Amino acid sequence: MPPATLALLGANIAVYLLENQAGPELIARFALWPPGVLGAPPFEAWQMVTYGFLHGGFTHIFLNMLALYMFGPDIERLFGTRFFTLYYFGCTFAAAATHLAATAWMGIAPGPTVGASGAIFGLLLAFGWYFPNRRILLLFPPIPMRARVFVTLYALVELYFGVTNTMQGVAHFAHLGGMLGGWLMIQYRRGGFPFR
């Protein structure tokens, strides 16, 4: 297991255990809160990253950490530990920014956002990009498909759910924002537009 992936797994699990002990105070201070909402805790700049280490229950952290365990090592070996770490946090930040912008524009009821899903979707994009023909076996339903097909379908489903405001309580635009951040960082790494 490469070092950054292992450290991120450990940090997420440690914060989840702390979250269960600390209770709602940790969420109030470190979850991502939209700015300027009456009655909500204030928005703070650090929330653009700290929200990515909090999770809303065992299933939430289990699925995110399973994906990090599955896709993180290959991406870290490809990118190197330093760029992989920057990539992970860049996707986390981009997911937060996209979520805040999209929910404000659509007038979606604000609430706290938690979870590593934005970074995970960035990793999914990188995996589909660099390992497009690898087979992925889904849990539900157990259908094997190529990575690029899986990532494309997943992104389209997230876009549909986000635009139609379906499955409320899931930050669909944060997932798409993580992919957008990943795409920008891949372009930067390749020396492509708009970073030449």
- pLDDT one-digit tens code per residue, 29-63: 999 998 877 777 888 999 999 999 999 999 999 99
Q: How confident is the model at residue 195 (pLDDT cuts 50, 70, 90)?
A: low
- pLDDT one-digit tens code per residue, 145-162: 999 999 999 999 999 999
Write a three-state SS string for the chain.
CCHHHHHHHHHHHHHHHHHHHHCHHHHHHHCECCCCCCCCCCCCCCHHHHHHHCCCCHHHHHHHHHHHHHHHHHHHHHHCHHHHHHHHHHHHHHHHHHHHHHHHHHCCCCCCECCCHHHHHHHHHHHHHHCCCCEEECCCCCCEEEHHHHHHHHHHHHHHHHHHCCCCCCCHHHHHHHHHHHHHHHHHHHCCCCCC
Q: What pTM, to 2 d.p., does this model score? A: 0.93
Q: Is the pLDDT of residue 196 over 60?
A: no
More confident residue, 85 or 196: 85
Q: Which fold has domain 3-190?
A: Rhomboid-like fold (1.20.1540)
Stretch 82-107: mean pLDDT: 94
Give the tokens for residue 157: 């489903």
**123's torsion region: left (phi>0), alpha (psi -120 to 50) or beta?**
alpha
